[in-house]
Amino acid sequence: MNDEICEREGMRIALLPSAYAPAVGGVEELTSRLACRLLDSGDDVEVWTIRHPPALPEDQELDRVRVRRFLLPMPRMSARALLSFPWDSRRALAKLVAAAEEFRPDVIHVQCFSANGAYATPLANHLRVPLVVTLQGETVMDDTDIYDRSLALRLALRRAGRKAAAVTACSRFVLQDAERRFGLAPGRGRVIPNGVELNEGAAAEPLSLPFERFVLGVGRVVEKKGFDLLLKAFERIAPLHPDLGLVIGGNGPARDQLVAAAASAGLADRVAFPGTLSRGQVAWALDAAAVFVLPSRVEPFGIVVIEALRAGCPTIVSNHGGATEIVRDGVDGIVADPYDTGALATAIQSLLTDELLAKRIGLAGRTRAVDFAWAEVAHRYRELYSHVTP
């Protein structure tokens, strides 16, 4: 398919992600990519998101996209918050309605359900425009397990699942979780995966590392991402490869503990923690790494997996979650159980020692990445919008 999304009159689309730039993360990235693709197709697009922190501008333009930010309160268990919530929520919804009356969207699209989704449902009902809800794994991957703690969010998601004109998820794994735990009717949703720019064009920015050959992990440094499991697997193979290092790119609350664990294992000089990586640094690291590993205890999808495939980096992914819907075991990557650190170490070792296997999987990965091109992903969303609008 070419880069043109659709040959038809433009639509007006309000994208409501749970977060957006200057915040950095998966939902911010995919919303930006989708917005730009829709703009290129001739659509009008605005991004409406949560104003967090509150000091951010209420209204600004970022990369051709008008971004409006709103304070969207949710019920909290304190007397003062409960007393003020009815007034605060009505005021927040009124501001959303005012923005909608100015922009007049044909469709409202929630990306990653949080307070944005809780307000989008009554907003779409008030405007009588179709609501599309896209789940990005927030129900299983939130760092604080907010869906286990917030009755308000659980009820809001159930309501949205009933009221939305369409529900999508980034993977079957996420869709099945919505069916099992949040009352989404089986067959009600569809999978539209996240995407990647095949020719991103980010200038490579080399990392300063004390070694040349390395295994790479990238992501938020939290317990669910399983970097401690990757470190344990690296401990097993480190004696076999004295020149090999491990790079864990990203930041998060588990970082200090990992640094201490590496030092305790006698690997302080062989495990690098460069912190949050820029797009150029990620591009360089994926191009330079001997192996990329996604060791997550649970993973809804894994955009960085597609980026690794695009780079031709031999890739290993966790068998817990949606990454197995990207990587086909033994074809364009290896699927392993990160809880079995011995098996994970064996998988890494196989790619480090078998050059033909690593080359074959790397080349197949490049081919596989084409299936997730943003041009195709945006086209599928555009078709969905056309289907649900009158």
The tens digit of pLDDT for each residue in 228-237 reads: 999 999 999 9
pLDDT over threshold 90, residue 82: no
pLDDT over threshold 90, residue 215: yes
Work out the widest C-alpha separation in the chain, in whole angstroms: 66
Residues 85/75, Cβ–Cβ less than 8 Å: yes
pLDDT over threshold 90, residue 336: yes
The mean-pLDDT minimum among 76-90, 224-238, 254-268 falls in 76-90
Rounded CA separation 202/192 (Å): 25
Q: What is the per-residue pLDDT across 283-326, written as a single tens digit (0 to 9) for each?
A: 999 999 999 999 999 999 999 999 999 999 999 999 999 999 99
Residues 165/200, Cβ–Cβ less than 8 Å: no
Assign domain 213-371 one CATH number from 3.40.1160.10, 3.40.50.720, 3.40.50.2000, 3.40.50.10320.
3.40.50.2000
Q: What is the pLDDT of residue 3?
A: 45
Given the structure tokens 């720019």, which residue do they identify?
197
pLDDT over threshold 90, residue 144: no
First to last CA, the chain: 26
Q: What is the pLDDT of residue 5?
A: 45
Residues 64/31, Cβ–Cβ less than 8 Å: no
3-state secondary structure of 275: strand
CATH fold for domain 12-195+373-388:
Rossmann fold (3.40.50)
Label each residue of 314-383 as H, E or C.
CEEEECCEHHHHCCCECCCEEEECCCCHHHHHHHHHHHHHCHHHHHHHHHHHHHHHHHHEHHHHHHHHHH
Rounded CA separation 90/72 (Å): 10
Pick the closest to residue 300 from 225, 388, 389 (CA basis): 225
pLDDT over threshold 50, residue 2: no
The confidence band for 148, taking pLDDT boundaries of 50, 70 and 90, is: confident
**Average of per-residue pLDDT across 216-245:** 97
Buried b (16+ CB within 10 A) or exposed e, 84-115: eeeebbeebbebbeebbeebebbbbbbbbbbb
Hey, what amino acid is at 146? Answer: I
Residues 109/13, Cβ–Cβ less than 8 Å: yes
Pick the closest to residue 67 from 42, 89, 54, 50 (CA basis): 50
> Residue 110 forms beta bridges with which residues?
16, 133
The confidence band for 192, taking pLDDT boundaries of 50, 70 and 90, is: very high
Q: What is the pLDDT of residue 203?
A: 86
pLDDT over threshold 70, residue 377: yes
Contacts for 265-268: CB closer than 8 Å, 24+ residues apart: 265/231, 265/235, 267/231, 267/234, 267/235, 267/238
Q: What is the pLDDT of residue 303?
A: 93
Rounded CA separation 108/72 (Å): 16
The residue ranking higher by pLDDT, 202 or 135, is 135
pLDDT over threshold 50, residue 381: yes
The residue ranking higher by pLDDT, 56 or 26, is 56
**Average of per-residue pLDDT across 217-223:** 95
Q: What is the per-residue pLDDT across 56-73, written as a single tens digit (0 to 9) for each?
A: 999 999 999 999 999 999
Q: What is the pLDDT of residue 199?
A: 87
pLDDT over threshold 60, residue 328: yes
Token pair recorded at residue 190: 């569809």
Read off φ and ψ for residue 57, nearest 5 degrees: -60, 145
Rounded CA separation 249/266 (Å): 20
Whole-number average pLDDT of the chain:
93
The confidence band for 7, taking pLDDT boundaries of 50, 70 and 90, is: very low
Q: What is the pLDDT of residue 1?
A: 40
Question: In whole angstroms, what separates CA 378 from the centre of its chain?
Answer: 16
Label each residue of 143-212 as H, E or C.
CCCHHHHCHHHHHHHHHHHHHCCEEEECCHHHHHHHHHHCCCCCCCEEECCCCECCCCCCCCCCCCCCCC
Hey, which of 22-36, 82-96, 134-148, 231-245 has the most confident mean pLDDT?
231-245
Residues 376/306, Cβ–Cβ less than 8 Å: no
Rounded to two decimals, what is the model's pTM?
0.91
Pick the closest to residue 130 from 100, 115, 154, 109 (CA basis): 109
Rounded CA separation 18/374 (Å): 20
Q: What is the pLDDT of residue 80?
A: 63
Q: What is the pLDDT of residue 85?
A: 80
Q: What is the per-residue pLDDT across 266-288, written as a single tens digit (0 to 9) for each?
A: 999 999 999 999 999 999 999 99
Q: What is the per-residue pLDDT across 100-125, written as a single tens digit (0 to 9) for each?
A: 999 999 999 999 999 999 999 999 99
Q: What is the pLDDT of residue 244?
A: 98
pLDDT over threshold 70, residue 214: yes
Rounded CA separation 154/232 (Å): 36
Token pair recorded at residue 118: 């809780």
Domain segments of the chain: what residues?
A: 12-195+373-388, 213-371
The reply to whether domains 12-195+373-388 and 213-371 share a CATH topology is yes
Cβ neighbours around 16 below 10 Å, total: 34
